[in-house]
Amino acid sequence: MDEKILVLDFGGQYNQLIARRIRELHVYAEIKSYSKITVQEIKAAGYKGIVFTGGPNSVYDASAPHFDPAVLNLGIPVLGICYGAQLIAYMAGGTVCSAEDSSEYGKTALHTLDSILFKDTPSEQFCWMSHTDFILNNPNGFSTIAYTDNCPCAAMADESRKLYAVQFHPEVTHTEYGNQMLSNFLFGICGCIGEWSMDDFIERSVDEYSRKLKGKRVLLALSGGVDSSVAAALLHKAVGDNLVCVFVDHGLLRKNEGDFVEQTFRDRFGIELIRVNAEKRFLQKLSGVTDPEQKRRIIGEEFIRVFEDIAGQLGRIDVLAQGTIYPDVIESGSGDSAVIKSHHNVGGLPDVIAFDEIVEPLRELFKDEVRKVGEKLGLPCELVWRQPFPGPGLAVRVIGEVTAEKLALLREADAIFRQELERAGDTLAVSQYFAVLTDLRSVGVMGDARTYGYTVALRAVTTDDFMTAEWTQLPYGILECVSSRITNEVRGITRVVYDITSKPPATVEWE
Ligand code: XMP
């Protein structure tokens, strides 16, 4: 990569968004924690520019993240955002002040002065603020380039050293001209050309891996999810028949999903695919288990065992390929927060199987970039735009003990729900939807006879990031149709309820 920007992470909540915005402007950006990189490494890496991110601290806190001020003397342009802006002020000898009465949250009117950072933006505009601390005295050489009614220095710059600091967040869409500012920084200040694109990515990766993996046999665990599917299609382009994909069908997939994966990869792409139908093995292990975390643990472990067995039968394998993506790379390592669910994707394999090498062709990409690559590689839409599906599959959507009979009921009900929502199309702003088979049975009546069947719950949520989610206000007409179809078509389900809880306090999945 010739041209790249460093997003130096001080713990802010929008850090991934900053990197994505920069990449959308066709400049490659990578995120590094301030504690994992030194000034010497920054210099050696040849970054065209550096962005200091926001962060939750005050610069004078004992535990506040700081960085070697020498970074400001490398001759590399720097843009500090929020905490990053205050840190520049602090590092360069200015003062930062904390005052509750001058804190600003939300959309705020911004007055800008003459600066290349604000080129092609009006002098009165709205920005997004989220701060209590502010820059009280600019360091030597820095002049104020923007202010708000509450904040005398909303942005400052030492233009001769190409150092910029903004108190607001240009990366969020509420900052009207935020993109233009980032673009000014990248192209006007850092001198970037903007050469990062998905076409180049595919070409470069295929080129790189066809050389690197020449003559080697590559094994990939394909789950049918977006990441491993795109990794498979990409690597197949690079190494052709030397790629073998193992698809462990744990029997916990949705209706027809296993066959769809098999058809796509074996028939359409001509990839060597081994499908292991391991439903019995998984159900045996899950027999009598009702605790969700235990289910997850059992499935994760069993997945590795099955994969090991198959890998052992394949003869020589040189390389293990994985569909790790950039957020996985960034997020592994941090992890102080409480475990609500142990979201493993069945994929933690390398510890148990000996390979010479591991390749992760998507480890630089964000999810939306992975999807673009998938589309360009010709993967079907259903796969590229597939909604998230938990690694442990329907096992966490059958409440209580998982049995083949309950799975069959759930699959049918879930398929009907999905069919009806897909028929309604894009008009419904819904991010994820599925059915849950509750462990509750209730009395019903059919014809003149009493029935006693399961209750199915429908769940549909709207969210950007799945950290929080709203329950989706689906039209009654759709709910009515789904309910009537399920109770008519799925023998054994006699009651349908709709989950109207948001996250928090509930989670998206029931288990
Ligand atoms: P929750 O239920 O935690 O779900 O609100 C947030 C998102 O994560 C998915 N999810 C999982 N994904 N393994 C996964 O790979 C898991 O064990 C798991 N549990 C939940 C869930 O579908 C939603 O998209």
Which of 65, 330, 17 minimizes the C-alpha distance to 170?
17
pLDDT bin (cut points 50, 70, 90) of residue 467 is: confident
Q: Which numbered atom of ligand 1 lies nearest the CA of 503?
A: 5
pLDDT bin (cut points 50, 70, 90) of residue 340 is: low
Q: Which residue has tokens 């009165």?
A: 124
As a whole number, mean pLDDT of residues 375-384 equals 95
Is the pLDDT at 344 greater than 70, yes or no? no
Task: Write the CATH number of the domain with boundaries 4-189.
Answer: 3.40.50.880
Q: What is the pLDDT of residue 355?
A: 73
Determine whether the shortest distance from the Cβ of 386 to ligand 1 is under 6 A: no
pLDDT (tens digit per residue) in 261-272: 999 999 999 999
Q: Which numbered atom of ligand 1 lies nearest the CA of 392?
A: 17
Contacts for 473 with CB less than 8 Å, ≥ 6 apart: none
Q: What is the pLDDT of residue 346?
A: 45
Distance 144 CA to ligand 1 centre (A): 45
Q: What is the pLDDT of residue 468?
A: 87
Alpha-carbon distances, residue 39 vs 2, 164, 234 (angstroms): 19, 18, 35
Q: What is the pLDDT of residue 348?
A: 52
Determine whether the shortest distance from the Cβ of 111 to ligand 1 is under 6 A: no
Determine whether the shortest distance from the Cβ of 343 to ligand 1 is under 6 A: yes
Catalytic residue among 3, 104, 153, 169: 169
As a whole number, mean pLDDT of residues 278-289 equals 98
pLDDT (tens digit per residue) in 233-250: 999 999 999 999 999 999
CB 76 within 8 A of CB 8: no
Task: Write the CATH number of the domain with boundaries 397-498.
Answer: 3.30.300.10
pTM of the model: 0.82
pLDDT (tens digit per residue) in 20-63: 999 999 999 999 999 999 999 999 999 999 999 999 889 999 99
Determine whether the shortest distance from the Cβ of 503 to ligand 1 is under 6 A: yes
Distance 403 CA to ligand 1 centre (A): 21
Determine whether the shortest distance from the Cβ of 341 to ligand 1 is under 6 A: yes
Q: What is the pLDDT of residue 334?
A: 43
Tell which CATH classification among 3.30.420.340, 3.40.50.620, 3.40.1190.20, 1.10.10.10 matches the domain 198-384.
Answer: 3.40.50.620
Q: What is the pLDDT of residue 347?
A: 47
CB 90 within 8 A of CB 133: no
H/E/C letters for each residue in 381-428?
HHHHCCCCCCCCHHHHCECCCCCHHHHHHHHHHHHHHHHHHHHHHHHC
Determine whether the shortest distance from the Cβ of 293 to ligand 1 is under 6 A: no
As a whole number, mean pLDDT of residues 427-451 equals 92
Is the pLDDT at 331 greater than 80, yes or no? no
As a whole number, mean pLDDT of residues 327-340 equals 59
Instruction: Identify the residue whose C-alpha is closest to ligand 1 atom 24.
Output: 388
The per-residue b/e assignment along 75-100, b for 16 or more CB within 10 angstroms, e otherwise, is: ebbbbbbbbbbbbbbbbbebebebee
Instruction: Identify the residue whose C-alpha is closest to ligand 1 atom 9.
Output: 390
Instruction: Identify the residue whose C-alpha is closest to ligand 1 atom 14.
Output: 390
- Phi/psi of residue 357, nearest 5 degrees: -150, 150
Catalytic residue among 30, 82, 302, 369: 82
Which of 430, 226, 439, 205 minimizes the C-alpha distance to 325?
226
Q: What is the pLDDT of residue 111?
A: 98
Instruction: Give the chain's mean pLDDT.
Output: 92
Instruction: Identify the residue whose C-alpha is closest to ligand 1 atom 4.
Output: 508
Beta strands in 138-296 (DSSP E): 143-147, 155-158, 163-166, 218-221, 243-249, 272-277
pLDDT bin (cut points 50, 70, 90) of residue 338 is: low
Distance 380 CA to ligand 1 centre (A): 23
Distance 459 CA to ligand 1 centre (A): 13
Distance 511 CA to ligand 1 centre (A): 9
As a whole number, mean pLDDT of residues 462-474 equals 91
pLDDT bin (cut points 50, 70, 90) of residue 144 is: very high
Which of 294, 248, 257 minimizes the C-alpha distance to 411?
257
Q: What is the pLDDT of residue 332?
A: 61
pLDDT bin (cut points 50, 70, 90) of residue 96 is: very high
pLDDT bin (cut points 50, 70, 90) of residue 312 is: confident
As a whole number, mean pLDDT of residues 81-105 equals 92
Distance 509 CA to ligand 1 centre (A): 6
Q: Where are the domains of the chain?
A: 4-189, 198-384, 397-498
Is the pLDDT at 120 greater than 60, yes or no? yes
Same fold across 4-189 and 397-498: no
82 is catalytic: yes
Determine whether the shortest distance from the Cβ of 380 to ligand 1 is under 6 A: no
